[in-house]
Structure 1
Amino acid sequence: MTTAQAPSQWGPRWSRWVGRVLARGLWATEVRGRDRVPSAGPAIVVANHVGFIDGPVLHGVIPRGSHFLIGSHMFHGALGALLRGASQIEVEGSGRAALAQGLAVLRRGDVVGMFPEGTRGAGRADAVHGGAAWLALQSGAPIVPTTMLGTRHTGEPVSVWPRPRRRILVEFGHPQVLEPPAELKGRRRQEWAQEAVAEALRAQVAGTLATTTIELPADDGGRSDTEEALS
């Protein structure tokens, strides 16, 4: 994979405040474990994905500026201009160029945000794509498994914009560095890391669910598997 230039650090410096206003002002977002996000150095925040507002809410409550990998279908019109101005990373085609930019962000010592399920839906993390695992292996950056709850309820579409003061919960888990067995090489190493990310995210979601009355939606919100690009 060719070397890519990292997106500007300036975008997250203003856009995270937009996300924070939405999370804290428009909706009633409780945040747990903010101190678990490393205060310096590279990190990959990986979260389950249930609704349209997951991205802006999470971007707003991460205690540092972050660059999210976002499907190219979102980069149109006014929203596309906003995302580009916020220095978020557009995922096109196979996603290789986006991963290269994400790796450049991590090598710069900053935060990448990802929804490794790849689509909005029930948010159970039953399966994840391999992008976050690849970035973790290439950079040595820890993953921070993160739970999103309340951004979509059962019966609501994945595109829902929740009513004001909707109760939302975001919980950051403990950072984990992926350390595959030394004998694993190539594809087997990547597969091990991908499953490690999935297990960490599933465990994080299950642990959060055990401590709150907010539930995951019982449906997938009518999602389309082509709705989101690989994250």
Structure 2
Amino acid sequence: MTNTISSQLHLVRSVPHPPTWLLYHGRSRLRALVQRRCDVTLHGTVRVPAEGPVLFAANHLGVLDGPVLAAFAPRPVHIVTKAEMFVGPLGPLLRAAGQIPLDRFHYDPGAIKSCLRVLSEGHAVGIFPEGVRGDGELRTVRPGAAYLALATGAPVVPVLFFGTRAPGRGRSTVPAAGAAVDVVYGEPLVVSRAPWPRTRTQVENARAVLHAHLLRQLADAKRLTGRSLPGPPRSRHGSSEEQAR
């Protein structure tokens, strides 16, 4: 798989590969920190390709999703993270851990090239295709993951989180101490690689196929774990954000 996409590397050489030292050597410490707070159970890790490029596409419930993915994924993963998280004291740590900042409000070629470089070199990228923390039901899937899959041919592995946010809590809250967290890795989806230039129709078709696959895998994950998702996050004013809209 890496050979089939290595020709793209010349297109992204202007963007440095995200740092990797902390990504590889800090995972055990992050895992220990998360385990102090939560009881994490992993399901389906054998479905994750052991080598070559891979895209982890995860539902998004709360602030703990990124750390859990970074700590417990079967492979070190460069996670696409909103640029606002890189402002302040957390920024240097995220950069050192190889995470990729994304401007969610404007076209961000730098983030795309960083992802392409990581995948072209046979590594893993993590993305939250819903774009924001919410109820995690994958009602909306943005085209970014589909575009990267089209551009590289990398398999997309669904990641389904349960328990990373309690029902009725805000999107930036963490679950209570001792909370059970389940992480389910779904069946990989391979989208046929499309050469540049890729059309909007191609991207939209791939997005729709990926969306349907993610929904099927979410349904399977609910049956496997016997768990449900927490519903919409609480707004700052005490009502659900869904009701507030």
Runs ≥4 in structure 1, deviation > 4 angstroms?
none
**Number of the residue aligned with 2:182:** 169
Return closer, same or farther for 1:100/1:34 CA change in 2, 3 Å cut-off: same
Change beyond 3 A, Cα 1:180–1:224: farther
8 Å CA contact 2:153–2:191 kept in 1: the answer is yes
Residue 125 in structure 1 maps to residue 142 in structure 2: no
1:101 aligns with 2:114: yes
| Aligned counterpart, 1:49 | 60
Verify: 1:83 aligned to 2:94, yes or no.
yes
Q: Distance in 1 between matches of 2:79 and 2:220?
A: 24
**Distance in 2 of aligned mates of 1:224 and 1:32:** 30
Unmatched tracts of structure 1, length 5 or more: 226-231
Larger radius of gyration: 2
Match of 2:212 in 1: 199
Residue aligning to 2:40:
29
Letter in 2 for 1:72: A
Give the Cα separation in 2 of the matches to 1:199 and 1:156: 28
Relative contact order, CA 8 A, sep 6+: which one is greater? Answer: 1
Following superposition, the deviation at residue 26 of structure 1 comes to 2.2
Say if 1:106 and 1:141, in contact at 8 Å, map to a contact too: yes
| Correspondences of 1:57-72 after superposition (within 5 Å) | 57-72=68-83
1:228 corresponds in structure 2 to none
Give 3-state SS (helix, strand or coil) of 1:210's partner: helix
Q: Give the CA deviation at 1:38.
A: 0.9
What is the CA distance between 1:179 and its match in structure 2?
A: 2.8
SS of equivalent residue, structure 1 residue 40? coil
Residue matched to 1:229:
none
SS at match of 2:170: coil
1:195 CA displacement: 1.1
TM-score w.r.t. the length of structure 1 is 0.89
Shift of 1:180: 7.9
What secondary structure does 1:44 align onto? strand
Cα deviation for residue 181 of structure 1 reads 9.9
Cα distance in structure 2, aligned partners of 1:11 and 1:59:
11
Partner of 2:25: 14
Task: Give the TM-score normalised by structure 2.
Answer: 0.84
Identity of aligned residues (%): 35
- Counterpart residue identity of residue 34, structure 1: T
Q: Distance in 1 between matches of 2:29 and 2:128?
A: 20
Helix, strand or coil at the partner of 1:77: coil
- 1:146 paired with 2:154, answer no
Cα displacement (A) at 1:23: 3.6
Q: Are the aligned partners of 1:44 and 1:111 in contact in 2 as well (CA < 8 Å)?
A: yes
Instruction: Tell me by how many angstroms 1:85 deviates.
Output: 1.2
Cα RMSD between the aligned structures? 2.2
Task: Please tell me the residue identity of whatever aligns with 2:146.
Answer: A
What is the CA–CA distance in structure 2 between the aligned matches of 1:207 and 1:23, rounded to whole Å? 25
2:50 to 39, 45, 49: 39
Which deviates more, 56-65 or 17-26?
17-26
User: How far off its partner does 1:16 sit?
Assistant: 2.2
C-alpha contact 1:22 1:57 (8 A) present in aligned 2: no
